[in-house]
Structure 1
Amino acid sequence: MTYSAHFRIWRGSAAGGSLQDFDVDVSEGEVVLDIVHRIQATQAPDLAVRWNCKAGKCGSCSAEVNGRPRLMCMTRMSVFTEDEAVTVTPLRAFPVLRDLVTDVSFNYTKAREVPSFAPPEGLAPGEFRMQQVDVDRSQEFRKCIECFLCQNVCHVIRDHEDNKPAFAGPRFFARLAELEMHPLDTVDRRKRSQEQHGIGMCNITKCCSEVCPEGIKITDNAIIPMKERVADRKYDPVRWLGARIGRRGDGGAEV
């Protein structure tokens, strides 16, 4: 079954732009990215759109569809009525390069600021031993496909450009939590999470968890536990003393 759908796609650059209208055929089972590709092929060959796997695993085709951040390859046309206009716009939290393509380099800058995993000295690969509960926790965070939808909906980044230097955002709070909760990691990331990555600026609205295509409970399982650990370190005198004497290993505690 085929029907004609009305699409409105944002066209432009950092200098400005506007929505452009397209009428396009839609077939049963198609997703928004299929239709964008059809518009490219038949009506707007210069339309810029980023995509790669078309299987919901690369995170490349993030956009806002009817105002909601989504992966275009995972948004079926069947969720819209046949007479409903479908509006596709670029992610609002990041600078537009052209049309639906945004500059997400902010996220890679933040990724480089997170210290890498640091196992105990002398522990060789293959000698790691972990409880299954710790494995499961790390695996949840590692499901992230870096679509940056969580970064896009975070109002601390989206609505306040001047916050970006001091705020890493939910994707990297999950990374910090993964490492901080790893039983073999020797770096204390609590002070860094607050003072360099700005976790205290998050007011746990859970909007990041709501848009995650992998269903990661970013707020409940990463941000809130990290906030609790930061508060314990800063205000609990017993924990503060434990950090001072390097309970996690020589040079491991950050004071």
Structure 2
Amino acid sequence: MSYEATFRVWRGDADGGELTDFQVEVNDGEVVLDVVHRIQATQAPDLAVRWNCKAGKCGSCSAEINGRPRLMCMTRMSTLPAGETVTITPMRTFPVLRDLVTNVGFNYQKAREIPAFIPPQGVKPGEYRMQQEDVNRSQEFRKCIECFLCQDTCHVVRDHEENKPAFAGPRFLMRIAELDMHPLDAAADSGLDRKKTAQEEHGLGYCNITKCCTEVCPEGIKITDNALIPLKERAVDRKYDPLVWLGNKIGLRRG
């Protein structure tokens, strides 16, 4: 079964643009990206859109569909209100390059600022051993496809451009949390306090745990509950608990 739908797509570049309407055929079982490709093929061959796998694993086709950050390849037309105009705009948090394509370089810059896993002294890679519970806890965060929808929807940077230099965003605070939870990460032995740097260098305190990042994650990662809140608790515990402070001073407790 097929039907006609109205798509309202943002067209333009860094200098400005506007929403343009397209009447386009939609077939049963299609996703939004299918329809965008049909618009390219039949009406707007110069429409810029970023995509790759069309299977929800590369994170390339992020956009805002009816105002909500989503992957176009994972948004079925059947889930959108029937008969209503489908509005597609680029991710609002990042600078527009052209049409639906944005410059997400901010995210790669933040990724470079986070120190990588630091292996323990005297243990070769093939000799790493972890409890299955620890593997399971951090494995969830490894599901991230870096679509940057969580970064896009986070109002700390979405509504406040001035916060970008001081705030890594949920995707990369989650990365810090993963490393801080890793039982083999030897950051502390090298003088790196991941909890302290999360708070002082990557803006953990800016996050007010509204869970908007979790709501848009296409992989269903519980970013707020399983990464950001525990990281906040550990950071506060280390900084403000007088017993922890005393224990650290006399060497009774680390990490």
The number of residue pairs the alignment matches comes to 250
2:208 match: 203
Cα deviation per residue 1:133-161 (whole Å; 9 max; x = unaligned)?
11011110000000000001100010000
Q: Contact 1:3–1:82 (CA<8 Å) still a contact in 2?
A: no
Classify the secondary structure of the residue corresponding to 1:107.
helix
2:230 match: 225
Q: Which moved more, 1:18-27 or 1:125-134?
A: 125-134
Q: Contact 2:117–2:185 (CA<8 Å) still a contact in 1?
A: yes
Q: Tell me the CA shift for residue 244 of structure 1.
A: 4.6
1:135 matches 2:140: no
Instruction: Name the aligned partner's letter for residue 139 of structure 2.
Output: Q
2:190 match: none
Distance 1:200 1:10 in 2: 34
1:165 match: 165
1:239 to 225, 241, 244: 244
Q: Contact 1:157–1:164 (CA<8 Å) still a contact in 2?
A: yes
1:120 match: 120
1:192 matches 2:197: yes
2:217 match: 212
Cα deviation per residue 1:169-189 (whole Å; 9 max; x = unaligned)?
000111000000001111130
Distance 1:192 1:202 in 2: 15
Distance 2:35 2:226 in 1: 36
Classify the secondary structure of the residue corresponding to 1:126.
helix
Instruction: Name the aligned partner's letter for residue 222 of structure 1.
Output: A
Distance 1:123 1:25 in 2: 59
What is the RMSD computed on CA atoms of the aligned residues? Answer: 1.4
Q: Contact 1:3–1:26 (CA<8 Å) still a contact in 2?
A: yes
Q: Which moved more, 1:238-247 or 1:199-208?
A: 238-247
Q: Which moved more, 1:231-240 or 1:120-129?
A: 231-240
Distance 1:48 1:243 in 2: 54
Distance 1:49 1:243 in 2: 52
Distance 1:149 1:179 in 2: 22
**Long gaps (5+) in structure 2:** 188-192
Instruction: Name the aligned partner's letter for residue 167 of structure 1.
Output: F
Give the structure with the higher percent helix. Answer: 2
Instruction: Name the aligned partner's letter for residue 191 of structure 1.
Output: K
Instruction: Name the aligned partner's letter for residue 233 of structure 1.
Output: R
Percent identity of equivalent pairs: 75
The change in CA–CA distance for 1:81 and 1:232 in structure 2 (over 3 A counts) is closer
1:144 match: 144
1:180 match: 180
Classify the secondary structure of the residue corresponding to 2:127.
coil
> In the TM superposition, what are the counterparts of 1:91-130 in structure 2 within 5 Å?
91-130=91-130
Cα deviation per residue 1:193-220 (whole Å; 9 max; x = unaligned)?
0000000010000000000000000000
Q: Tell me the CA shift for residue 248 of structure 1.
A: 8.3
Classify the secondary structure of the residue corresponding to 2:215.
helix
Classify the secondary structure of the residue corresponding to 2:20.
strand
The change in CA–CA distance for 1:236 and 1:48 in structure 2 (over 3 A counts) is same
Classify the secondary structure of the residue corresponding to 2:126.
coil
**Long gaps (5+) in structure 1:** none
